Amino acid sequence: MRTIGILTVLAVALVVSAAAGILVGAVAIGPSDVFAALFGSNDVNGTIIRELRLPRVLGAALVGGALATAGALLQGLLRNPLADPFVTGTSAGATLAAVAAIVLGLAAPLVPIAAFAGALVTVTLVWRLARLGGGTTVLTVLLAGVVLTSFAGAVVTFLLVSSDRLALQLRAVLGWLQGGVSVISWPELGVAALVVALGLGFALVLAHRVDAYAFGEETAATLGVDPDRTTTAVLGATALLSGAAVALAGLVGFVGLVIPHALRFVIGATHRRLVPASFLAGATALVLADLGARTIIAPAELPIGAITGLIGAPFFLALLVRSRRVVV
């Protein structure tokens, strides 16, 4: 009952934030005009609401939900409360693959697929590195993430500087790299929504098996989980969610880390509850972060990644300090 109550509150919060995200913007549009615009008035307000604000709010919600869900899965699988797509380098791997796809001149629909592939390769690498560390994996994962992120960043810089195609739109690509949902088209949104739905579906089906990893992979096996199949499926779901998020919004940090971590103390550690709660809360958090990004220094805009970094990085540091006894 308590669980349903918390999930309801989170869902209401998401709807309210989304409404705020659509109502508030650089151009003041009254609520009744917004309502009219949603249902087809063809003036400039209609264009702003339907082509700019609505896709942007939905995009932010998808990205936030996907990253928080991926974070919950990764933390459970790696038994590491400091893991998420960003700090493990998974997002950086997806970014590298997406930029490479653009440089190679691949068709736009292939870019999200490249991002997914990049995420899958990186998250698998991180998992293998974490296993080398045996029992104390927390620091290993973070170090692997630092290394992979630096490497991917270096290659991306190389591609940016050496490719004429990207140099021409350097500003747009840089904006994307810093994390932004300012320009999202409806077709892009549709593809991302499908991929995120798939990833979330996997996450919900796998949730109770991820619980069994609480005491390690071997105990998961003795509890009846096939470790190879489950691990592969969880890494795949994580890659789907991270890849979709990166394809939509580039590098958005710390949502995947902070949201599941904070929620555990409210709703408990059981992933059957944590996964849906993380999706809802992550979506809400990023809709609000995007609202902040475009209103704090309006009419100019901050990249959304700057907002999540401003709030998430100190939180991450606090966690690291608090958990030092188990990290080392």
Q: Is 19 in the site for other proteins (CB under 8 A)?
A: no
Q: Of 121-160, which residues contact other proteins (CB under 8 A)? A: 135
The one among 7, 121, 155, 214 contacting other proteins by CB under 8 A: 214
> Which tokens hold the place of 254?
């710390």
The one among 15, 108, 168, 205 contacting other proteins by CB under 8 A: 205
Give least dist CB 2 to other proteins, A: 12
Segment contacting other proteins by CB under 8 A, of 119-127, 165-173, 260-268, 306-314: 260-268
The one among 150, 219, 310, 324 contacting other proteins by CB under 8 A: 219
Residue 128 or 165 having the CB closest to other proteins:
128
Dihedral, 100, 104, 107, 109 alpha carbons, nearest 10 = -10
Give the binding-site size for other proteins (rule: CB under 8 A).
33
Helices (H) and strands (E) in the chain, counts: 16, 0
What is the residue-wise DSSP string for 223-282? TT--HHHHHHHHHHHHHHHHHHHHHHHS---SHHHHHHHHHHHHH-S-HHHHHHHHHHHH
CB-count exposure of residue 322 (10 Å: 0-12, 13-18, 19+): exposed
Q: Closest by alpha carbon to 166, among 250, 115, 95, 104?
A: 104
The one among 13, 23, 139, 221 contacting other proteins by CB under 8 A: 221
Q: Is 12 in the site for other proteins (CB under 8 A)?
A: no
For 225, half-sphere exposure in the C-beta direction (CA atoms, 13 angstrom radius) is 26
Residues that bind other proteins (CB under 8 A): 75-76, 79-81, 135, 204-205, 207-209, 211-212, 214-216, 218-219, 221-227, 264-265, 268-270, 272, 323, 326
